[in-house]
Structures are given as C-alpha cells and as structure tokens.
Amino acid sequence: MSKPMPFAQSIRFTTWALCALGVVLSAVALAIWGRGAWVPLVVFGALTLLGWRDYTQTRHAVLRNYPVLGHMRFLLEFIRPEIRQYFVEGDHDAGEPFTRAQRTVVYQRAKGAPDVRPFGTKLDVGAKGYEWINHSLQTTRIDSHDFRIWIGGEPGTPRAGASPCTQPYNASVFNISAMSFGALSANAILALNQGARIGGFAHDTGEGGISRYHREHGGDIIWEIGSGYFGCRNADGSFNAERFAAQAREPQVKMVEIKISQGAKPGHGGVLPGAKVTPEIAAARGVPVGVDCISPSAHSAFSTPVELMHFIARLRTLSGGKPVGFKLCIGHIWEWFGIVKAMLETDITPDYIVVDGAEGGTGAAPIEFADHMGAPVQEGLHLVHNTLIGAGLRERVKIGAAGKVITSFDLARMFALGADWCNSGRGFMMALGCIQAQVCHSGFCPTGITTQDQKRERALVVADKAPRVAQYHANTLHALKELLQAAGLMHPDQLSTHHIVRRIDSERIRLLSAIMPTIRPGALLNDLSHQLNVYRLYWPLADAHSFNPRNPDAGEPDGAPDIRPTVAGRPASAAQIAEALTRRRAPHPGAITHLVPEQSNAHRAVPSADTPTHVPKEWTASGANGAGGAPAPAAHEDQVV
C-alpha cells in the first residue's frame, strides 16, 4: 500500500492548474456571455503565465516547486514585521529594538498626552535584571526641570591644563544625538533644530557637516567631525584648518565633536553613493556633486593618542576657544588607556567625551557590527568614568552617554553610572513620528524622516513636529525631576550607583555600587597593583604614542612575564597579555578568488540617464575634479550617516 501524498506535495502545482482551468472556464464564459468574462480571463491568464515563468526560472527554488502559490511566502515574509508589530507584539515583549511601551511613552510625551498608567506596573519585578531607584523619606522640591551643566569649565574659573577652553557651553543634560543631513531628510533636520531652539538644548549635526537646514532656525549646534572631515576638508579628503575655523567660529556652533567611532558600527567607515550626493548634500559636506562620498574607517589628521590630543588643542584654538571633545565606542581597552596616558603626558584634555554604546543604532550597519561589535554603553561608560577618576582627570572632562536612552529612568541610570549628560537619537526620531519601520537605509521611510525623496519628505510637517521634539525633551526631563525629588536629590549630578538597585535572581538584590564599584581617585597612578584586573593587566599595555599594545618594562607592575603563573590557561600578568597580542604570526597564503562580493560594489552601479537618481554631467563640472575623497577602502561600502 502506497503512502498518502503529503499535503504540501499535493498542492505543488494545484494552484497553477486551477489558474489554467480558470482560463479555460473564462474563455468558455466569454464565448457564451460575451464581454463580461474578460476580467477573469485576463486575471487567470496572467496568473497562468506567471506560473510558467515561476516554473522555468532558476533563481528561486520555492517558485520552481510551487508556481504561483510560492509568491505567498514572499508576501508573508514582506509583511511579517508589520504583522508582528501591530498584532502579535505585547507592550513589554522584546522589541526590535524598542518595545511598544517604550515607543508609546515617547509618542505620549511628544504630543503632550497623559503618560500616567493605572493599575500598577506591567513589569515582572521579580525577574533577573529588574532595576529600581531607592526613594527617600525626605523628599525635595525642585523648581525647574531644565537641568543644565557647564562643558569646558565655568565662566570666570581658571581652567587647568594646556590650551584650555575659553568659551564654555551651558548645556542641557538631554540633547539630540548625532544624525546627519543626508541620513535624515531636510524636514527632519529643520524640525529637530527648531525643537532644540524652542527647548533650549543642543542638536548634534552628525558627521555630514552643517547644512543650511541646521542653520535656518538657529538652534544650538554641536558640530561633529568624522574621518571624512565634511565641511572642513581638502579635495583629497584631508583636514582643512581654514574651512574649519570659518564654520566653527559661527555663534550657532557651541561645541566641536571628533567622531572616533560610533556605537552602530565601530571601526567601520562608509560610502554615500555618488548618485545620492545631491547639490545640497555636497554643499554641506564640501564634496563634489555626484561623486562617491567617502568616510574612511580611521582619521588621517592623527594616528597616535598624543597626536589626537594635539589635534584637540588645535581645533580648540581654531574655533576661538570653544569646547572640543570626542565620541567613541569602547573597543580595545589599551587604546582607551593610551588616550588617557596621552592626556597625562601632554596636559591637554578634551572638554568632554561622549561614550556611544554598541546598542546605538541611527547608522545602518552590517548585522555583525550591529550585534557583536563594540562595548555596550553601560560597560563603556563605567570604564571611561572610572579611568578618568583613577588618572585624576575626571574634574577636567565632562562625559556624555548615548545608547537606547528613551525614558527618564534611562537618563537617571546613565547619570548614576557617571554620565554628566545624555544624547538620544532614536528617541527624538520617534518624537518626529518614527514608527520603527526599520527601512532607514532604503530611502523608503514611511514617515519622511530618513529619506531624500521629496514626495515622502513632505509628509513631515515641520511646524507640527518641531513642538513635539521640544515637548518630548521637556516632559522627559519633568519626569526626571519627579524621580529626583522622590529620591531626595536636587540635580542629576547627585545620582550615583548607590541609588540604583538590581535584582540578581529571585532571592538576591545588589546595589549597582557593589556590582560596578568606583575606583579611588588617582589609584591608577599610585596603587595600580591593587586595582581590578581590567586596570592592572591592561594599563601597562597602553602607550601614549601608539594605539598598539606595548610590552611593559620588567620594573612596572605586572611587567615581568613570570610574576605569577597563568590561571586555568588565562594570562595573569600584563606581560603575558602583551606577549600574546604582539606574537609574530606565520605568514598567511594569499587570496586566490577573484569573486567580488555583490554588496561591496553595489553603490558603484552607474545610474542610466533615464533613472530618477541620474546625476547630470554639469553637476560634477563646477570646480569638482572627481577627486572628492580618498580611495574607498574595500570593506566600508555602506551608506555613511
């Protein structure tokens, strides 16, 4: 007795056959009743031809085995994110990357709608990782939610160190994170900057330069300078001091930020394809129109920690004494320690450091970079804060933090870990109306935020969205004010790890101060041997004159390779780690394949003259010679943001 045919096998060609039968029946109906049968005849005929195409094509195996019906698979796959987001996802299910509850609170605060919730929390307070702030029996009263800090020192107070800041900035503790014009639409930039002007907070330009849309409403600007030096570059992509000074001295520019790396894709550069380099984007970035806009993975203005410090001092002088700092996502620990050693050696310190967590996501990135590259903001912020304390430099450097900061509790937690202020990118995008469609890199943003398509962009009405940006900022800080009052505090700078509690498991809780202790001031300089392993083992490897690890001298703490044996195969001294990192490797065989990955050169496809993205020749002839940047590194082929 033969086995019954599986259902999937029985319907392989059934749909196609039914379409063909529909053609026959429609033809018969047409012959009998006349014109009324034309519509089904055309529909079934088209589906039958589609089935023949599916059966004979060679690209999709599913369609070859399931003509016509196989298209349902692609349709369902296409709408799966929307189905999940609107019908399946719960309020506190693991969102991608934000839960419905997180998105909802942003929308409510941006619109000025009530954000209170009846009937208690929906969170599992007994779950591992649950955190809360301890309240006080002696609450306080705070007059204003507008918490502010000085960056670059306080006016009238002498600044320590070489080449200090002379124009400190009075900053809000909550600001707009770096997002470039080009990655965001013109209307999005206009709304963000006008919202910043209304609310009295800062708007980071992103590395794409200062566009006319940043200038139109006059909101405070933090000018971010990446490795492409957009807005202050020579034709070969190198830094141009005169162009930098001309823009940095503008009154609207309050601070300058050197982007060393970003959380979304640390160590990865980018390319904005020439077909997307419009005249407006070219004007903001200082590049030729229609030519690939390269953002290398590393800077050309400096190559060592000491050179970075001198570059900071140079920018501070060129800007007229404005605060200059840098943004980074923590990677190799010895590289960060090398930067701190360079501060000590040169007596030049940045006015601030922005720690960008790996969970940051306004830049489109390869999946491996988004998921598995760089330190999360908690670990990065804690390391930066502690290192500066241990080196005796914390009072000279302010710290900003960015990485999934949405609510007032997110802010409070970052302040407790050592941040002086926080930046948010996606939070302010949601205030503009972002629905987390996650097609930011495609140009098909449904809300007109991350697109250069003017028809899509017009959906974002600046006059409506700018007040929402300001309201989201104000209502979030108002909620922070209420948290501080309940905790018996007066300002976010009073928050510490002693105020935050974390559940370890169903029976144990710990203060963050016990889980993430704070180092003693100056301990890295006078008591290294008694510090945590991350400092004891990696501080000796750091070199102020190189980002590479060095071999510590035998006289240094943990400098002798035999200071102690390895533990369970793990190096137990700095010298052992240095030996492992600097060991000469055997030469590798050369590459043998000539296959070029499709994605690596996808942006180089030249649009034809009849496509919407075609760049007319006259656009590239106005003083542009096609040398608009350094040669593109083969591994950095995604859109720069």
pLDDT band at 313 (very low <50, low <70, confident <90, very high): very high
Tell me if 366 sits within 8 A of 386, measured CB to CB. no
What is the structure's pLDDT at 559?
53
- Mean of all residue pLDDT scores within the chain: 84
Q: What tens digit of pLDDT does each residue of 5-17 get? A: 555 566 788 888 8
What is the structure's pLDDT at 453?
85
pLDDT band at 636 (very low <50, low <70, confident <90, very high): very low
pLDDT band at 522 (very low <50, low <70, confident <90, very high): very high
What is the structure's pLDDT at 600?
54
Q: What tens digit of pLDDT does each residue of 534-591 get? A: 999 899 999 999 999 988 876 666 655 544 545 455 656 777 777 777 777 778 788 8
Q: What tens digit of pLDDT does each residue of 140-153 get? A: 999 999 999 999 99
Task: Rounding to the nearest 10 degrees, give the CA dihedral for residues 621, 623, 625, 626.
Answer: -70
Mean pLDDT of the 256-283 span: 80
What is the structure's pLDDT at 598?
66
What is the structure's pLDDT at 114?
87
What is the number of helices (H) and of strands (E) in the chain? Answer: 22, 15
HEC profile of 407-452: CHHHHHHHHHCCCCEEEECHHHHHHHCCCCCCCCCCCCCCCCCCCC
How many whole angstroms separate alpha carbon 374 and alpha carbon 133? 28
Kindly tell me if the per-residue pLDDT of 475 is higher than 80: yes
Percent of the chain with pLDDT over 70: 85
HEC profile of 190-202: HHHHHHHHHHCCC
What helix, strand, coil percent values describe the chain, rounded to 5? 40, 10, 50
Q: What pTM was estimated for this model as a whole? A: 0.83
Specify the DSSP element, H or E, that contains 625.
none
DSSP letter assigned to residue 160: P
Q: What tens digit of pLDDT does each residue of 399-437 get? A: 999 999 999 999 999 999 999 999 999 999 999 999 888
CB-based contacts of 585: which residues, under 8 Å, 6+ apart?
none
Kindly tell me if the per-residue pLDDT of 221 is higher than 80: yes
CA of residue 419 relative to chain centroid, distance: 18
CA of residue 211 relative to chain centroid, distance: 20
What end-to-end distance do the CA atoms of the chain give, in Å?
Answer: 64
- 255 vs 294, higher pLDDT: 255
How many whole angstroms separate alpha carbon 439 and alpha carbon 376? 23
Question: Looking at this protein, which amino acid is placed at residue 430?
Answer: M
What is the structure's pLDDT at 160?
87
What is the structure's pLDDT at 606?
40
Fold adopted by 172-490 = TIM Barrel (3.20.20)
CA geometry: angle at 613 spanning 608 and 616, to 5°? 70
What is the structure's pLDDT at 517?
93
Residue carrying structure tokens 């009937």: 119
CB-based contacts of 209: which residues, under 8 Å, 6+ apart?
180, 181, 230, 231, 284, 285, 286
- 633 vs 186, higher pLDDT: 186
Q: What tens digit of pLDDT does each residue of 170-190 get? A: 999 999 999 999 889 999 999
Kindly tell me if the per-residue pLDDT of 619 is higher than 50: no
Least confident of 34-43, 170-179, 518-527, 554-563: 554-563
What is the structure's pLDDT at 132?
94
